[in-house]
Each structure stands twice: as structure tokens, then as C-alpha cells.
Structure 1
Amino acid sequence: MARNDDRMSREEAGRMGGEATSRNHDKEFYQEIGRKGGEATSKSHDKEFYQEIGRKGGEATSNSHDKDFYKEIGSKGGSARSNDDR
């Protein structure tokens, strides 16, 4: 969304930049920058850090979904895995 003064919003500039980047790079590019980011992050944090964020994420997820949600995604995951094995 452009501003009234014809300048681009930060959100619009970011979206357009992301779209331009995705047009100019392939899947391998994104895999490589993801790998590098993961390596950099793993060097700056210890095992306890990852355990804590995993625990917090699990709590947040379990607080926002009921038992039926987990049954459904488990069923979908199982179906997807069995289709991959063919």
C-alpha cells in the first residue's frame, strides 16, 4: 500500500524486494542461506537454549489446539508418509 505522499511503505518495499529476490534465485539458493543461518545460530546457542525454545513452542501450540486437531494432523502425516513409501 503506497502512502499518500507517493512514497512506498516499508511493508510494500519488503514485499517487492522479496518478490524480486524469489524471481532471481532458485531453491538451492534458499537452502544454502538457510543452512548458513542454522550454522551461525547453532554456534551462538547451547543445547539448553534449544530445549527451552522447543518447550515454549510446544506449550504455545498445545494451548492453542485441542485433541481433535492433533488426531487430524497425525492422520494426515501418516497418510502422507505411507504415500511416500510407494
Structure 2
Amino acid sequence: MIYIKPSAAIRNNYNEISQLCKETGEPVYLTKNGEGDIVVMDIKAFSKRESMLKLREMLVEAEESRLRGDKSYTVEEVSDMMRKAIKED
């Protein structure tokens, strides 16, 4: 569901908007003069969204690397490299 409120709502009803963000995990879109202005959201939902975006970027980067034919490693090769690195310390 999309939540849209006038920008004055943040001033007049901060607690209500904060609670709505926390309960739903969804952003609240604030308008100014009938146009989209800003978005507010719960910090936990924001952090989760940021983590998901970073993971998605990493997956896209890995897929692009694979498609370019860059060198890749099997799980066994990575395990061997890690064991060797640990022994060197």
C-alpha cells in the first residue's frame, strides 16, 4: 500500500507518521502543494532496503564478471586458498 500525506502532516502529526512507518515498514510520501516532495521511512526498513540494494549490486557485478568470462573459482578452490592463507599467518 502507498501512504501519501501532505507535508504539513510531518509537522502536525509526527508521532502518527512515525508509528505508521514502524507498523507497516513502508515509506510515507509527503507532498508539498500537491506535488511529491520527500519520503520518510522507519530506520530499520531503510537499513534493510540499503542492505538489499548493496547485495543486488554485488550480484549484478558478479554476473557481469561471469558474462565477460573473467576468471572464476570453485568452492573447493576458494576453500584451499583460505586454508593456505590461514597457514601463512
Richer in strand (by share): 2
- Per the TM superposition, whether the score is higher than 0.5 is no
Report which structure shows greater RCO (CA 8 Å, sep ≥6).
2
